[in-house]
């Protein structure tokens, strides 16, 4: 029974049910207004689903997130692959990128906030400056991961450079680039919501912060739940894209996280 598919589903539902029950009991034991019950939270969330404000909030967050991811992806992968193909460029930038990577992106938030105010552009700058490093550094690695035999073969057959880049270099570095993009995607979403929450720019983060100021705990919990669901959705979409892009690659089935 335990090993059948339905048995496993059943066990998972039981665990989720127990978690909800714990939440419920905790919310009723605590003083009112401190923790809403699951029913209050889901009720509030259901109410928001029909308001335009909810959807513009989601659109703000998702819009900033996607734009930041696109910028990080294009800039990070291009520069990373270019630097990675040159040993001198790679060595010259190693310390620099290693240092910049470890600065917590939140450090520049006060500065960017003074420059741009509580706007989506402010969030965008913070997110790009924070999330580009894993993509860039992983792309630098990626440029050196191609099969040397294939490189030598295309050289001895005097294949045109364009052909080499398209058919040997890019496919060879793709698995590592995808790893960097996956880490970057998670960081992008995290920083988007963080920037909105701390900087007061419109979006999910702002709703959470604003709800706290009014002690509107059901709204607070509802939007935290929404941010978690958004994270799950983004992860799922990324897996689908990665499956398509790397269909040919065996590494696909083994993953470190």
Q: Which of 228, 240, 243, 249 binds other proteins (CB under 8 A)?
A: 228
Q: Report if residue 157 touches other proteins, rule: CB under 8 A.
A: no
In sequence order, which residues have a C-beta less than 8 Å from that of residue 45 and are 6 or more positions away? 222, 225, 226
The site map against other proteins for 41-80 (x = CB under 8 A) is ----------------------------------------
Residue 82, interface with other proteins (CB under 8 A)?
A: no
Rounded (10°) CA dihedral 212, 215, 217, 219: -70
- Using the rule CB under 8 A, give the single segment among 27-35, 40-48, 65-73, 146-154 that binds other proteins: 27-35
Contact flag: residue 34 with other proteins (CB under 8 A)? yes
194 contacts other proteins (rule: CB under 8 A): yes
What gap in Å lies between CA 188 and CA 127, rounded to an integer? 6
Backbone angles phi, psi at 73, to 5 degrees: -65, -55
Residue 92, interface with other proteins (CB under 8 A)?
yes
Residue count at the site for other proteins (CB under 8 A)?
A: 59
- Region near other proteins per CB under 8 A, out of 135-143, 149-157, 174-182, 218-226: 218-226
Q: Which of 96, 160, 162, 248 binds other proteins (CB under 8 A)?
A: 96
Q: Which stretch binds other proteins (CB under 8 A): 44-52, 75-83, 95-103, 170-178?
A: 95-103
Does 211 interact with other proteins (rule: CB under 8 A)? Answer: yes
127 binds other proteins (CB under 8 A): no
Phi-psi region of 64 (alpha: psi -120 to 50; beta: other; left: phi over 0): alpha
Nearer to other proteins, 75 or 108 (CB): 108
Binding segment toward other proteins, per CB under 8 A, in 78-86, 111-119, 146-154, 166-174: 111-119
Chain residues that interact with other proteins, rule: CB under 8 A: 2, 8, 11-12, 14-16, 19, 30, 34-35, 88, 91-96, 98-100, 102-108, 110-111, 113-115, 189-190, 193-194, 197-198, 204-205, 208-209, 211-212, 215, 217, 220-221, 223-224, 227-229, 231-232, 235, 256-257
């Amino acid at each position: 029974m335990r090993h059948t598919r339905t048995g496993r589903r059943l066990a998972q539902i039981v665990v989720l049910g127990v978690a909800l029950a714990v939440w419920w009991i905790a919310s009723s034991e605590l003083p009112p207004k401190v923790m809403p019950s699951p029913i209050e939270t889901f009720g509030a969330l259901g109410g928001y689903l029909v308001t335009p404000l909810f959807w513009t909030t989601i659109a703000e967050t998702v819009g900033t997130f996607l734009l930041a991811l696109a910028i990080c992806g294009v800039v990070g992968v291009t520069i990373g692959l270019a630097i990675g193909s040159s040993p001198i460029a790679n060595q010259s930038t190693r310390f620099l990128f290693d240092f910049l990577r470890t600065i917590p992106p939140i450090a520049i938030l006060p500065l960017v906030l003074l420059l741009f105010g509580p706007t989506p552009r402010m969030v965008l700058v913070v997110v790009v400056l924070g999330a580009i490093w894993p993509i860039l550094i992983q792309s630098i690695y990626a440029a050196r991961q191609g099969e040397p035999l294939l490189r030598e073969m295309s050289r001895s057959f005097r294949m045109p450079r364009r052909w080499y880049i398209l058919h040997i270099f890019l496919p060879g570095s793709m698995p590592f680039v995808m790893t960097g993009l996956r880490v970057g995607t998670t960081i992008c979403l995290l920083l988007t919501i963080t920037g909105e929450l701390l900087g007061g720019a419109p979006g999910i983060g702002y709703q959470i912060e604003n709800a706290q100021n009014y002690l509107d705990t059901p709204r607070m919990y509802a939007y935290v739940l929404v941010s978690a669901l958004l994270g799950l959705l983004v992860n799922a979409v990324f897996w689908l894209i990665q499956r398509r892009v790397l269909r040919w690659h065996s590494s696909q089935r083994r993953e470190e996280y």
